């Protein structure tokens, strides 16, 4: 991108002189000059014209002088470099200009060879800053994309450490949690769409806050269904325990929310299923819309356990039980024939944390 330079000076012949001195660069499109007579006009030009890279300004001008212009640019955090060209080249003015963000200070009468060299040096500086801003913008775009399916702390970690390759297809041992509402289909069929959306927003807000707190990776929101995975992309020491602890917190929070819904005449419940095992994980989708997903039996088992759970139940698989049995109180829920799973699976209903159960006793 060729630089655009705004020259701010009330000297009547300066515009013509600059056009003459830089005519080859202007004709070749290597540089573009705009002109203003004083600071107020310069600010208006900056506001109306996007993409100005450099301001070359005098100090002594009517309405708004060059030092006041510099102060205004600094206070408004304008991303533009400045060069002072002035006959008032005493140390006080130079110090003030530099303190207000000037890149360089030249004295009049103008030495155009010196001005050209200073402009070239400043433009190189501008290009470095522009490249830095572009890299920052790219990082922010990556962060925004990651936040759509990762909790903020996970997105921060991946962007800051440059480990986006962790999101490529890979195999890992994970814990999967599925939660959905009981009675939601009947509720949505008999209610106004606006009421359905309000209820879903309340439900998602409660679930989302708890997911972020426990460091889970949101695999999907699908209506009233929520899938969360643990131990990917950031490893956890005991993902099964984290998932169960999160499920207990969700149960407590949804209990409060369901009581509110009942007062509004909405008879809704919820169930949770948790499974542990290996899955293939990575990004799926298309340009502009990507999701991070887990594929494997472990996610199917979590979903089917959720289907089997009665309202308020947290059903876990045997592998989850092995990881948490000394830390939570459970009761057998029988062997369940789950749709799409070849063999029946022994399921267990989580009652509470061991410590919490001891307090109740």
Q: What is the DSSP letter of 165?
A: G
Query: In terms of domains, do 109 and 169 share one?
Result: no
pLDDT at residue number 131: 82
What gap in Å lies between CA 302 and CA 300, rounded to an integer?
5
What gap in Å lies between CA 319 and CA 244, rounded to an integer?
12
Query: In terms of domains, do 140 and 152 share one?
Result: no
DSSP state string for 258-273: HHHHHHTT---EEEEE
The pTM is what? 0.61
Q: CA angle, 166 as apex, 160 and 169 as ends, to 5°? A: 155
Query: In terms of domains, do 241 and 302 share one?
Result: yes
- Chosen domain end from 96, 124, 145: 145
- Chosen domain end from 119, 145, 171: 145
> Could you tell me the CATH number of the domain that includes residue 63?
3.40.50.2300
**Other residues' Cβ atoms within 10 Å of the Cβ of residue 29:** 8
Q: Domain residues for 129?
A: 4-145
What gap in Å lies between CA 271 and CA 316, rounded to an integer?
11
pLDDT at residue number 194: 93
In the chain, which residues have pLDDT < 50? Answer: 358-359
- Chosen domain end from 129, 145, 161: 145
Q: What is the pLDDT of residues 20-69, one digit of tens each?
A: 988 888 888 888 899 999 999 999 999 888 778 899 999 999 999 999 99
Q: How far apart are the first and last CA of the chain?
A: 73
Q: What is the pLDDT of residues 145-188, one digit of tens each?
A: 666 656 565 666 666 665 556 567 889 999 999 999 999 999 99
């Amino acid at each position: 991108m060729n630089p655009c330079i705004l020259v701010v000076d009330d000297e009547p012949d300066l515009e013509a002189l600059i056009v003459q001195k830089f005519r080859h660069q202007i004709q070749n499109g290597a540089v573009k000059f705009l002109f203003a007579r004083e600071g107020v006009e310069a600010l208006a030009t900056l506001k109306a014209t996007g993409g100005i890279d450099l301001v070359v300004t005098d100090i002594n001008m009517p309405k708004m002088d060059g030092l006041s212009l510099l102060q205004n640019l600094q206070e408004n955090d304008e991303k533009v470099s400045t060069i002072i060209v002035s006959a008032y080249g005493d140390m006080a003015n130079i110090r003030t200009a530099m303190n207000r963000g000037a890149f360089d200070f030249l004295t009049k009468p103008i030495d155009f060879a010196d001005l050209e060299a200073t402009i070239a040096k400043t433009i190189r500086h501008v290009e470095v800053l522009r490249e830095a801003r572009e890299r920052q913008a790219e990082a922010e775009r990556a962060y925004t994309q990651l936040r759509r399916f990762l909790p903020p702390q996970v997105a921060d970690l991946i962007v800051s450490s440059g480990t986006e390759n962790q999101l490529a297809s890979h195999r890992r041992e994970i814990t999967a949690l599925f939660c959905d509402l009981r009675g939601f289909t009947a509720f949505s069929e008999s209610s106004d769409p606006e009421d359905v959306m309000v209820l879903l927003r309340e439900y998602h807000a409660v679930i989302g806050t708890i997911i972020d707190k426990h460091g889970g990776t949101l695999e999907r929101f699908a209506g009233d269904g929520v899938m969360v995975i643990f131990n990917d992309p950031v490893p956890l020491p005991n993902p099964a325990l984290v998932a169960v602890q999160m499920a207990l917190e969700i149960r407590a929070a949804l209990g409060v929310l369901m009581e509110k819904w009942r007062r509004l005449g909405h008879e809704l419940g919820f169930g949770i299923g948790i499974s542990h095992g290996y899955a293939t994980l990575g990004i799926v989708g298309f340009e502009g819309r990507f999701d991070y997903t887990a594929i494997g039996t472990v996610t199917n088992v979590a979903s089917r356990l959720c289907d089997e759970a009665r309202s308020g139940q947290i059903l876990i698989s045997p592998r989850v039980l092995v990881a948490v049995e000394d830390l939570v109180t459970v009761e057998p829920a029988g062997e369940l024939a789950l749709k799409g799973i070849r063999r029946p699976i022994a399921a267990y209903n989580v009652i509470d944390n061991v410590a919490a159960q001891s307090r109740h006793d």
